[in-house]
Amino acid sequence: MRKNKLSYSILVLVFLVVRFGTQSAVYAQTPKEMRSKPGHVFSVHPKNHRCFLYKGKPFKILTSAEHYGAVLNADFDYEVYLKEMRHTEQNATRVFTFYREGLHSITALGAMNTLAPRPEASVLPWKRICGHGKAKDGLDKFDLNQWNPAYFARLKDYVRKCAEHGVICEIVLFCNPYGHAYDLFPCSKVSNINGLGSDLDDHRQFMTLEAPTIVKFQERFVRKIVTELNEFDNVYYEICNEPYGKSFPKKWQEKVTVWHAHLASVIRHVEKDLPK
């Protein structure tokens, strides 16, 4: 991970404190049959912020968490992965939602890179529509107004099985497109039928509030993911993986920080009306 990764791990930790610190009022208004037990949901430990609390007990994370494409790559057998995690006593994994790379993006890994699925094996949150040309990956373009039920079924099945194995899921909502990967994003103007993304001139703007159609797309996606996964206790969110880079001067870093705060507020707004 790049040197800025640690600072954003801390940001996620701070977000967890905010998220779970305001949860008691919501809990009191939630029907009893839908409530988690106190301390059951994965959270920062209230008495020791250097570890977590899960199912009422102190919890520390041990993981390599390397198979980021477990959900979006249909060729990946996560049943085998979770059995191996249990065998090696790992208890956390990172789930990338739709960030993909090209098949040869990491030459040494090749097909072992789970974030570089075959286009035909990609399972993404939006439906593809024929008759409107091809997306960057050579398949039909995406209709960003239509969710893909198969994706959310696979996502929830994975998170559920993780819970059965005692594994916490870090849901990585977005990732730095690094320039080379941006056109594989469904929100790229070359990959969707909705005309979305034409206001993005620089891939770095994906992690700012400067492209209104992209921000609207991100807000809608965040609301969907947070709502779909609210039933689970073994989840927390990372807003963006590796959001900075060598090409990000200070003014860009400030824009990215503001963007993070905005999306954190979207998550809080959605969760305040949900059971968990």
What is the pLDDT, as a whole number, of residue 27?
37
How is residue 64 written in tokens?
Answer: 């390599």
Encode pLDDT of 139-161 as tens digits. Answer: 999 999 999 999 999 999 999 99
Using CA atoms, how far apart are residues 6 and 40, in angstroms rounded to an integer? 27
Using CA atoms, how far apart are residues 186 and 183, in angstroms rounded to an integer? 8
List the beta bridge partners of residue 93.
169
Sheet with 92-96: strands ordered across: 92-96, 168-175, 235-241
Average pLDDT of the residues of the chain: 87
Q: Tell me the CATH number of domain 61-271, given options 3.90.470.20, 3.30.420.40, 3.20.20.80, 3.30.1360.30.
A: 3.20.20.80
Q: Are 166 and 160 in contact (CB under 8 A)?
A: no
* Residue range 19-38: mean pLDDT, rounded: 44
Band (pLDDT 50/70/90 cuts) for residue 34 is very low
Q: What is the DSSP letter of 206?
A: G
Pairing status of strand 168-175 against strand 235-241: parallel
Using CA atoms, how far apart are residues 9 and 40, in angstroms rounded to an integer? 22
